[in-house]
Amino acid sequence: MAVILGAGEHRYEVIEDWAKLPDGWEFRDVAAVGTDSRDQVYVFNRGAHPMIVFDRDGNFLRSWGEGEYPRPHGLHIDVDDTLYLTDDGGHMVRKCTTGGRVLLELGTPGTPAPYMSGLPFHRCTHTALSPRGDIYVTDGYGNARVHKYSPDGKLLLSWGAPGTEPGQFNVVHNIVTDAEGWVYVADRENHRVQVFDGNGRYETQWNNLHRPCGLCRCGVGQSQFLIGELGPPLKVNRMAPNLGPRLSIVDRQGALLARLGGESGPGLEAGKFIAPHGVAVDTRGDIYVGEVSYTDWPTSHPDVPLPNRLRSLQKLKKI
């Protein structure tokens, strides 16, 4: 029997075993996922084949990036089908073609900036583009900054510092923009998304979230946002209901429209999540969820041995 998540206009059927990998291949953690203008699905993962590409039916098309990405983390695909890849283990951002040819590189691969120095990069996490093509980079695990670059890679400005006040960050994890130039930043361990203008001036924040991790703009006119939220890491509330892991859909003011999953803690059953780290939506409204299941398993299931194989990618088909 089909598993359905959501209600009303936000109803989705869980499509199990959607991705048809070649024999012997495995994703391990899927850190990020994106779709291009033809609804081809790009899966940026931490297995032996960092970028694996599928058609919308889950048929394998190609792979690339072998040996070139130490720890994949973020993926953004622009309107021209250009890819922006963020590798937090390599401390770098690469602008690439759909076949993996590098067009621009930010950062020095393998060389982090000093921890919490504010200088780019120390375990950078994700990218987004302004309406004029400027590149925003969230940075990340070893910094508390957002950096803004010109389209040709010149650093224009940076903002942010460690902390909990407006404009400060505690694991600045993901970023998206809209057509008006507003910048939305997933401030993960502060349990919020902060909203800035294009030059880093704080405007507002969205609360009522739990460790927002994945983030993308979606919906008709791209006026909604899909947020992947992680569950609790502490033993005292690890299995508490209604804390995630889950997906939330909000409007441009951060008002909740729908929640998918998360009612009864993490799990491998259809309709449950382990760690929704990267999210994407195709032209038909179907959702793709990348999960860092192998990384999160010892936290979410500390008393259960790591299974031989974990699910790291799900598709939710819009009904």
Residues across the chain: 319
pLDDT confidence bin for 4, thresholds 50/70/90: very high
Tokens 């998540």, residue located = 5
CB within 8 Å of 275: residues ≥ 6 apart: 213, 230, 231, 245, 266, 291, 292, 293, 295, 296, 300
Question: Which tens digit of pLDDT belongs to each residue from 98-154?
Answer: 999 999 999 999 999 999 999 999 999 999 999 999 999 999 999 999 999 999 999
pLDDT of 222: 80
State which CATH number among 2.120.10.30, 2.40.10.220, 3.40.50.2300, 2.40.30.10 fits the domain covering 4-318. 2.120.10.30
Where along the chain do its domains lie?
A: 4-318
pLDDT confidence bin for 235, thresholds 50/70/90: confident
Distance CA(46)–CA(292), nearest Å, equals 9
- Residue (of 209, 251, 201, 216) closest to 230 by Cα position: 209
pLDDT confidence bin for 265, thresholds 50/70/90: confident
Tokens 């909604």, residue located = 224
- Residue (of 288, 251, 290, 274) closest to 55 by Cα position: 288
- pTM score: 0.97
pLDDT confidence bin for 1, thresholds 50/70/90: confident
- Residue (of 145, 135, 23) closest to 85 by Cα position: 135
Q: How far apart are the first and last CA of the chain?
A: 15
